[in-house]
Amino acid sequence: MSSSHSSAPRPLTARRAGPLSGSVDLPGDKSISHRAMIFGLLSVGETHVTGLLEGEDVLRTAEACRALGAKIDRLGAGEWRVYGTGIGGLREPSHVLDFGNAGTGSRLMMGVVGGHPITATFDGDASLRKRPMRRILDPLTEMGVTVVSQAEGGRCPITLRGAADPMPITYRTPVASAQIKSAILLAGLNSPGRTTVIETEASRDHTEKMLSYFGATVKVTPEGHDGRRIELEGRPELKPRPIVVPRDPSSAAFPMVAALLVPSSDITIASVMMNPLRTGLLTTLLEMGASIELRNRRVEGGEDVADLHVRASNLKGVDVPAARAPSMIDEYPILAVAAAFATGETRMRGLNELRVKESDRLQAVADGLAEAGVTYAIEGDDLIVQGLGGAVPGGGTVATHLDHRIAMSFLVMGMASDRPMTVDDETMIATSFPSFVGLMRALGADLSA
């Protein structure tokens, strides 16, 4: 078994408290932080990173980049320096690459390794070992990668032997997934031709944006109604560029919903990334009647950002279309909590991908709602929550299944429910949002062991 998260589970309880107030200093975006390390590895010379999320997931990716030959130093809080080897210059790792809980880190790095003639073994914790990797192995195999070994069903631990000259392929992703898209593009970086990824629905575009920022030739064109075609010319020489990591909208979601639900709250969340492929939750909450004001909209580090002013609001139930799922895929657990406090029914459509996240999130959310006395139904891929108009009984203990977002979502619920909510383990919160507990307490939340 991998060493990650051998620490004992730590339960945590959230109790109803007074209004939340103050301003929130969020950590950096997880998606961009992983990619900052990877692009640092793949360019020759020094990449300077500020605002890096120093969560466990990203630190695992940094470790893997080190094992492949990068020299990486931490200069200060969130400030890191990566000396890369460049495309084609990776070294074969001498040990297993242990990604802990991180799906993104492991899948993107499979693409990186797949594009080089080296052999590496990928592993992680009990949650990562359950997650489907065939979606990555299939396109990589088409590119010439050999799957030397794998656990049943295409799961970790997985050993890959990368291709010396990865085949340039055209690949239509079977589900909207930035991880699949990114793994293919990263392998395609060392391909002697053009790699094309077609998505029927656009997923987050951080990889494409960073590829062109580092000097690769990438063409992105619309495909069908909501999709995109991404074409990458292989074997560019990536030039190191400074990276300013914007604040994570998926982490902003937790204080944002907490402030909407706890009566009389009034908070400001500074410098949140507003990339339109990440703002589905904001759109949905505004439709529900949330008081969220976007202030000081600007561009920082190549991304739209804004300060969010959030005030407690009476929410109403809405119908969330499946087409919105890619832009809020990580936010459904916290949306389900908001929906429980809303007036009327909320239907969230097209949640199939939730079943293969850090946990089966659809089931974990449903079980948590039941524990808190909230009525729900699962119909096919849809989750339907019957809102209680502010009066959520609460009072249960939620099984988190090594899933940080389940833990944070139900702690937020406990900040506003009649009785406290306990989560069985808070340790995984450190994978994406290590400052969550301290930051929520500073706003006025009552969280205790």
Instruction: Catalog residues that contact ligand S3P under the rule CB under 6 A.
Output: 31, 104, 177-179, 182, 203-204, 329-330, 353
* Contact (CB, 8 A) for 190 and 87: yes
The three-class DSSP label of residue 33 is helix
> What is the spatial distance between Cα 38 and Cα 216, in angstroms, rounded to a whole number?
14
* Contact (CB, 8 A) for 292 and 310: yes
> What is the spatial distance between Cα 118 and Cα 93, in angstroms, rounded to a whole number?
8
Q: Which is nearer to ligand S3P, 292 or 356 (CB)?
A: 356
For the chain, give me the number of helices (H) and strands (E)? Answer: 13, 24
Alpha carbon distances (Å) from 296 to 265, 280, 284:
21, 20, 21
User: Which of 98, 205, 330, 403 does the annotation list as catalytic?
Assistant: 330
DSSP 311-341: E----B--EE-GGGGGGGTT-HHHHHHHHHH
Q: Which two tokens stand for residue 397?
A: 């203990």
For residue 353, the minimal CB distance to ligand S3P (Å) is 6
Q: Which is nearer to ligand S3P, 184 or 411 (CB)?
A: 184
For residue 148, the minimal CB distance to ligand S3P (Å) is 24
Q: Which is nearer to ligand S3P, 179 or 190 (CB)?
A: 179
* Contact (CB, 8 A) for 376 and 102: no
Q: Which is nearer to ligand S3P, 20 or 351 (CB)?
A: 351
For residue 30, the minimal CB distance to ligand S3P (Å) is 7
Q: What DSSP element (H or E) covers 36?
A: helix 30-42
> What is the spatial distance between Cα 105 and Cα 34, in angstroms, rounded to a whole number?
6
The three-class DSSP label of residue 238 is coil
* Contact (CB, 8 A) for 20 and 262: yes
For residue 19, the minimal CB distance to ligand S3P (Å) is 31
For residue 104, the minimal CB distance to ligand S3P (Å) is 4
Q: Which is nearer to ligand S3P, 256 or 329 (CB)?
A: 329
For residue 66, the minimal CB distance to ligand S3P (Å) is 20
Q: Which is nearer to ligand S3P, 63 or 208 (CB)?
A: 208
330 given a catalytic annotation: yes
Catalytic residues: 330
